[in-house]
Amino acid sequence: MQIPANELIILIPVFNEQDAIVPLMAEIRNEWPDVRICVIDDHSTDHTQEVLRGTDCAYLRLPCNLGVGGAMQAGFRYALEQGYAYAIRLDGDGQHPPAECSKLIERMAGGDVDMVVGSRFLGVRSYRGTWMRQMGIFALAKALSLICRRRITDPTSGFQMVNRAVMYFFAHQYPGDYPEPESLALLSRQGYRVSEVATTFRARATGRTSIRRWGAFFYVFKVGVALFVDRCRAVDPRFDRQQTEVEAQ
């Protein structure tokens, strides 16, 4: 199975990425000239809006700051309404090389998965974070592997590709804060098929992560509580995989 360019959209959530977003879009255009790009601006306070003026991307500016979860949900709703069959998320800070999208597309084209996640911890490891951050990711990976009953190596990766069924699900049900690990648990509970592929990440082009030093432990604790609460919930029959595939048509 091949994935035509007109069936694919690249979603880029941004918050104060005025220095990184235009070079990133140019890089995407060099690699994927015919793929539609949608930038979701989470109410930036810098000049992101101005630097994007005149570009060929679809531009959604949120009326207030919702966080990456709210921004991505808006992006999924846009992609769904516009009729796209697949969506790739690239973060606006430049950590996800557009050339690596081909690995996600190739895996999705196999037709046996609903989401593909680009992992920093498969194959040759390109990620070098603080020991606290790496320990936090390791702990979440172990917890999610138990919950999902399959090996998860990179639970915080935002480099993702989804099909239309997951798009429909996320347009209606998507975690707000730090949604990456929680969304994996949600997909597992509802019967969706998730796969990881080895990808290379790079350092942020600008800015700095919102999870620093001891904040990594708070993040792990907060996500751990959310995962526990999620395990206590029953499967929502409105959004199981078979039902969503029908609704998403």
**Contact of 151 with 142, CB cutoff 8 Å:** no
The pLDDT assigned to 205 comes to 61
For 126-161, the pLDDT digits (tens) are 556 666 777 778 888 998 898 888 999 999 999 999
For 65-91, the pLDDT digits (tens) are 999 999 999 999 999 999 999 999 999
- Paired sense of beta strands 115-119 and 86-89, if any: unpaired
CA separation for the pair 12, 123 (Å, rounded) = 26
167: phi then psi, degrees, rounded to nearest 5: -55, -45
Name the CATH topology of 5-247.
Answer: Spore Coat Polysaccharide Biosynthesis Protein SpsA; Chain A (3.90.550)
Task: Please name the residue that has the structure tokens 């060099």.
Answer: 30
Task: Give which of 194, 173, 164, 162 is closest to 238, Cα–Cα.
Answer: 173
Structure tokens at 167: 């798009």
- On whether the pTM is more than 0.85, the answer is yes
**Contact of 93 with 20, CB cutoff 8 Å:** yes
CA separation for the pair 15, 7 (Å, rounded) = 26
For 9-57, the pLDDT digits (tens) are 999 999 999 999 999 999 999 999 999 999 999 999 999 999 999 889 9
What's the distance, CA 55 to chain centroid?
23
pLDDT band at residue 124, thresholds of 50, 70 and 90? low
Angle between helices 164-172 and 179-189 (to 10 degrees): 110
For 208-233, the pLDDT digits (tens) are 555 555 566 666 767 766 676 676 67
> In the chain, what are the helix, strand and coil shares in percent, each to the nearest 5?
45, 15, 40
CA separation for the pair 80, 95 (Å, rounded) = 25
